[in-house]
Structure 1
Amino acid sequence: MSVDVTSWSLPTGIQLADPSFYDPGSIDVVLGAEVFFDLFKASGRISLGDTLPTLVNSVFGWIVSGKVSEGAPRSAFVCNVASTADLHNDMERFWAIEDEPTTAYSPEEALCGKIFSETVTRDSDGRYVVRLPLKRNLLDNLGDNRRSALHRYRLIENRLGRDPGLATEYRKFMDEYFQLGHMERIDENNASSQAFFLPHHPVIRAESSTTKVRVVFDASCKSATGRSLNDVMLVGPTVQQDWRSIIIRSRLHPIMLIADITKMYRQIRLHPGDTHLQRTPDEPIGVYELKTVTYGTASAPFLATRVVSQLATDEKCHYPLAAEVACKDFYVDDLFTGAKTVNEAIELRKQMEAMFNSAGMKLRKWASNVPASLQDVPEENRAIKDLVDFDKDQSIKTLGLHWEPQTDRLKYVIPNITIDRESAVTKRNTLSSVAKLFDPLGLVGCGVLRTATTHDCDQELPENLFSDASETAYGVYVKSTNSSGQTKTALLTSRSKVAPPKQISIPRLELRGARSAAELYGKVSDSLRIDARIHFWVYSTTVLSWLQARPLTWTTFVANRVATIQRLTQNCEWHFVHGVENPADIISRGLPADELASCKVWWEGPTWLRKSSEFWPTSPLETQSNPECSREVRKTAHIATSQPDSSFIDEYIALFSSYSRLVRTTAYWRRLSTVLRTPRAERKMFEPLTLSELQGAEFALIRCVQQAAFPEEWKTLYKN
């Protein structure tokens, strides 16, 4: 924890053992007690104040020693936990189906969008200028972090001094940052006094084809008040579609086009009123302000993607094709789209380049499975050069996948997995290896090794690593059908989920799988917007019976899932399929990797799927009277009750919510009864109620209640 020493009066002319004692740092050396007292000189102690530490003279220089009293109490908690209980949850998240994105914004997300809409502008060059979406109520407590940032800067200098190669790339990156005008040096004497500093550090990306070393700014660096810039910044909602939908849609294009936006964040300027919150130290030692949206700030992804959306809106009339694609086929800065013909691809590419150039952005790393669509793209703007070295990998990594333009195939690059032969193969190291394989479309999900869920994470696994499909996992299969003279079926995507550790019945697991299929259909349907007849296939006849009835027929667990499935699959048909012909069953059972490539049931579906519907399997007769269905029927309880007739006094009192109003109304009724028995000449109708009349009404009410509540006792007393 950093210490604020701005109010301390340190003596001049003394040499401190640690000039940056107020900032935390690493331990350089540990000395034993046998030399401890030899380090201090006989004379030399200087008190800094009643509530401040003392300076002690040592062979290293003056040491600051003692307790620091902070004006505002702060607490720092460090909790180190080693847990194995959540390993199964990690596995479930690995194969889990993502939650459906919500279209409803939270209040903070709505505010962030409002700030953007009200403040975004374009400068004379067409570039977008945005404001940081700040939580203004927290901004005054942001605090000062200059000392901490300078300390981190010195640490980076030491690291770069030990690695000349890294230092060269680091300096090259920062020089380019400055030369492009993305940051500028400022004179702090003439600048805003309220500022926040962003420490920076290198991130090495060996697989990058352009920038191997990238400098990242840390907007989460805490200040003296314990807050960071990210703490006082709104994050913003998700603007673009998810990457799975983008990839699925792109695979339907005969001609694919991919590209990305060069330095996307840095092409968006930051309003001058916010640049003081993005200062940073750099060499030659000085203070610089970052003039663009900065990678590492909490709002950067929202601001960048929202600008792309705004650009599409602003330029729709000039570039209609590009505007439509920009709204749906960008994931952050990666473009993944396509066209039907070469001419359409060329026109789309030209519109995209012109539209983004109008905003000061440049598209690069163009690639296509049809080279003619890139015929006038300069070689430096292509992802793959014209001169192809067939001994080298010519695939492109985009959206986490490796795509090979020459063959238009997606590739899976398996990382080197090294397991010591002398070490046991445990769930822990197996899961660690499996998690390195990125399979967003689920194309090789059935070949992914899945560990047994009934063993401890460090217990050696048995030879048979796959348990029964119904009790360990369930899978979902989606196919697309293209007809061009001959019917063709192909795998489009798949999903899988690890079953929960809590034992549930096989029909319930099958029902959860059916719901996952329905949710996946909704995702694919929204992505492709294709008008087609949809058929669902499931092995469980019990699930089919559940889906044929109203949700309220069943217990809560079944009813909730049946309601969801019926809502998502309106106008769709559900069928029975035998387990040996069900591609989803392959996910559950698992398949060795060497058999995956030749498994036609997995890649093309059952053979009868390519035939007309009369050749499809028929559902066996199944009624809701089978044991599994009967077990889930909602139990209805019938209760017969009897209630005695209420008395007049009960109904009369129930008409009033105020006791005083009850008494006064009763008094008027009693007066009316008396008046009606009095000769007309002697009647007095409009005089105020007297005390005796009110007391008489109250006694009359009490008497009626007693007669209704205690009839036998009243009769006995009445008879004396």
Structure 2
Amino acid sequence: MALSDALREDAIRLFEEYAQLSKVTFARALTPPCFTEEPWAITFSDGSEQAYGAVLYLRWNSDQGSIIRLVESKAKLTPLDHKGDVVKAGLCGAVFASRLKKYFEAQSRIQVERWYHFVDSQTVIGAIQRESYGYQTFFANRIGEIQSSTRTQDWWWIPGPQNIADVVTRGASPRDLDEDSEWQNGPKFSSLPVSEWPVRSAKELAVTAKENVNKLQRKAFVAALTRAEVRGQEEKQSRAEAQGEQRRPPAGSVIKNLVDVKRSSDLTRLVRSVAWTWRAARKFLGGNPAANDPKWEAVP
């Protein structure tokens, strides 16, 4: 039975890539000439719905500048029961990174000065910083393995486009694996000074996440205050029209004039300021005979 046109094109492309793959060459020497100090080891790990894996590089400082050497990589297809769970796949990729480190230290005579482990998942790097006993069996076993063979402070977050481990999880053509490719020479930033790396620590990510939560809380508070102001304005307007009285300013506007919510950096402090304002208003009205006058009102 003849293949369909689509399958025929895929088969031809596959055989062409097989032919190109046989021409891909790799540098055999991990140690470059004229290096000045012990290397740094850098791992990248990633996970997707199709696969997960990790890759290990050595960064050498030499008279010619920084030289990156590809050491090894490891990948595996995502199990069918984990399809769609990218977080689990990313965690399994981090496990592979820790295993690459353990294997390298056991089989190589090269002494590494410092280790860096990069992932592009904030969830994974946050989970690695916590104790393993706080998780269910799947996470607990793998985080325990990671923490037993690596240091938590050696794990860093990088943006997804900078993670070279995408080649492992999403596939690449033989042209992307050649001797002059980024796969063999490492990401461009890995040759730059550490201060120029696009990486962030788990602590920095936590601070940013807290600031984002505070911003969302402030927006929610302002939105609730605005809704209450509009509601109060409509109710008072309807009462004023029914009683033929002059409409007073809405209750929420009093708080808005006394407390500038945009100047507050913390929701707790903002709520405390509103509470103190309400308390002062009640105390003032409690000893003021004018409090019985309908034109006076305290606004919570």
For normalisation by structure 1, the TM-score amounts to 0.22
- Cα distance between partner residues in 2 of 1:519 and 1:433: 33
SS at match of 1:560: helix
**What does 1:633-712 align with in structure 2 at a 5 Å threshold?**
none
Name the counterpart of 1:552.
133
The reply to whether residue 497 of structure 1 matches residue 76 of structure 2 is: yes
Contact 2:53 2:74 (8 Å CA) reproduced:
yes
The reply to whether residue 516 of structure 1 matches residue 96 of structure 2 is: yes
Q: How many angstroms does 1:473 deviate by? A: 1.1
Name the counterpart of 2:105.
525
Name the counterpart of 1:580.
161
**What does 1:203-602 align with in structure 2 at a 5 Å threshold?**
425=7, 470-485=48-63, 486-502=65-81, 503-532=83-112, 533-570=114-151, 573-597=154-178, 600-602=181-183
Q: How many angstroms does 1:570 deviate by? A: 3.9
1:515-536 deviation digits (Å, cap 9, x = unpaired): 0111122111211133221111
Query: Structure 1 residues 472 and 609 mapped into 2: Cα distance closer, same or farther (>3 Å)?
Result: same
Q: How many angstroms does 1:494 deviate by? A: 1.1
Amino acid of the structure 1 residue aligned with 2:107:
S
Amino acid of the structure 2 residue aligned with 1:480:
L
- Cα distance between partner residues in 2 of 1:470 and 1:599: 26
**More deviation in 515-524 or 500-509?**
500-509
The reply to whether residue 622 of structure 1 matches residue 201 of structure 2 is: no
RMSD: 3.4
- Using CA pairs below 8 Å that are at least 6 residues apart, which structure has the higher relative contact order? 2
- Cα distance between partner residues in 2 of 1:603 and 1:552: 38
- Cα distance between partner residues in 2 of 1:585 and 1:543: 16
- Cα distance between partner residues in 2 of 1:549 and 1:516: 19
SS at match of 1:617: coil
1:365-401 deviation digits (Å, cap 9, x = unpaired): xxxxxxxxxxxxxxxxxxxxxxxxxxxxxxxxxxxxx
Contact 2:176 2:182 (8 Å CA) reproduced:
no
Amino acid of the structure 2 residue aligned with 1:513:
G
**More deviation in 595-604 or 547-556?**
595-604
Structure 2 unaligned runs (5+)?
27-46, 211-300
Contact 1:443 1:494 (8 Å CA) reproduced:
no
Percent sequence identity over aligned pairs: 26
- Cα distance between partner residues in 2 of 1:537 and 1:621: 14
**What does 1:163-242 align with in structure 2 at a 5 Å threshold?**
none
Amino acid of the structure 1 residue aligned with 2:206:
E
Amino acid of the structure 2 residue aligned with 1:425:
L
For normalisation by structure 2, the TM-score amounts to 0.51
SS at match of 2:205: coil
SS at match of 2:130: coil
Contact 2:53 2:92 (8 Å CA) reproduced:
no
Q: What stretches of structure 1 move > 4 A for 4+ residues in a row?
A: 420-424
Query: Structure 1 residues 488 and 522 mapped into 2: Cα distance closer, same or farther (>3 Å)?
Result: same
| Aligned positions, number | 175
Structure 1 unaligned runs (5+)?
1-419, 445-468, 627-720
Query: Structure 1 residues 599 and 542 mapped into 2: Cα distance closer, same or farther (>3 Å)?
Result: farther
1:29-81 deviation digits (Å, cap 9, x = unpaired): xxxxxxxxxxxxxxxxxxxxxxxxxxxxxxxxxxxxxxxxxxxxxxxxxxxxx
1:560-598 deviation digits (Å, cap 9, x = unpaired): 100001111148711111111111012222222234337
